[in-house]
Each structure stands twice: as structure tokens, then as C-alpha cells.
Amino acid sequence: MNAKAATVAAAMVLAAGAGLARADGGAPVRVPVDADGVQRVTIVGGSYFFRPNHVIVRAQVPVELTVSVEPGLVPHSFEIDAPQAGIAVHTELGTTPKTFRFTPTAPGRFAYYCTHRLLFLRSHRERGMEGVLDVEAAP
């Protein structure tokens, strides 16, 4: 294979991988309330994605959120900043899961995302590493 063909093939592989990373989230995840009254959800980050990328919880019910990242070389973070709803999580991600507890106080739609950015490149959030936490009103 000549150099031009190799370059085109490499570009196609990278483009395909970028498309897969953005499509990784799947269907929204409605978090059930466990017998102890807590909503438990795990979110895993990776190469410019969060899985799941759409989580639905209920207001006024405690949430236990566990976050981690798949093994890799690129560092990632997790941030959701919604003080109006009693939600604030800011952490660097590692392969060892970290767990946070909060109780959403108000319904709404809140973004979670990676805050990292490499110099002169789009941010991880702009590359698709974001998701949505929907907080529904308590019944």
C-alpha cells in the first residue's frame, strides 16, 4: 500500500471511530428507586463518550451516582453543576469508581460533561463527551 492510500485508510478508521464514540449512549436510562429509597446509577466515560448519556431520576429522592472511566491514555473528568437543583459533582475520572450522593431538589434538564481540552483542539465536550440528567418531578 502506498503512502497516500495508507493516509486515506487511517483517516477513514479515525472518522469511523469518532462516529462510534458519539453514538455510544443508547436509549435513556430511567433509574429505579431501590428498596432503601435510593436511586443508584453508574456512568462510565471513555474515548469522548459517557455511557449512558441520558439518565432520568426523580426529584426529592436521593441519588447515588458512581462514575469511572475505561482504561486509556487520555484523562477525563465528570462535571454536573446545577446548584438550583441541589446537584454539584466535579471530579477527575479514573478506572477506580467514585461514588457521590445528592438529592435533586427541583425538576429540570442538566448537562454532565468532561471539562478537558487539549491545546488548540476541540474540548472533550465538543467532541461528544456529554450527557443529560433529566430530573422529573416527584409523583
Q: Please report, for the domain that includes residue 32, its CATH number.
A: 2.60.40.420
Tell me the pLDDT band of 25, cut-offs 50, 70 and 90.
Answer: low
Q: What is the mean pLDDT of residues 13-32?
A: 57
pTM exceeds 0.75 for this model? yes
**Residue 16: pLDDT over 60:** no
96, with CB counted inside 10 A (0-12, 13-18, 19+), is exposed
Run of H or E residues at 128: none
Q: What range defines the domain where residue 119 resides? A: 3-136
Total domains, the chain? 1
SS3 of 21, please?
Answer: helix
3-state SS of the chain? CCHHHHHHHHHHHHHHHHHHHHCCCCCCEECCECCCCCEEEEEEEECCEEECCEEEEECCCCEEEEEEECCCCCCCEEEEEEHHHCEEEEEECCCCCEEEEECCCCCEEEEEECCCECCCCCECCCCCCEEEEEEECCC
Residue 98, phi-psi category: left (phi > 0), alpha (psi -120 to 50), beta (remainder): beta
- What single-letter amino acid sits at 86? G
pLDDT tens by residue, 54-75: 999 999 999 999 999 999 999 9
Angle at the Cα of 79 from the Cα atoms of 46 and 115, rounded to 5 degrees: 65
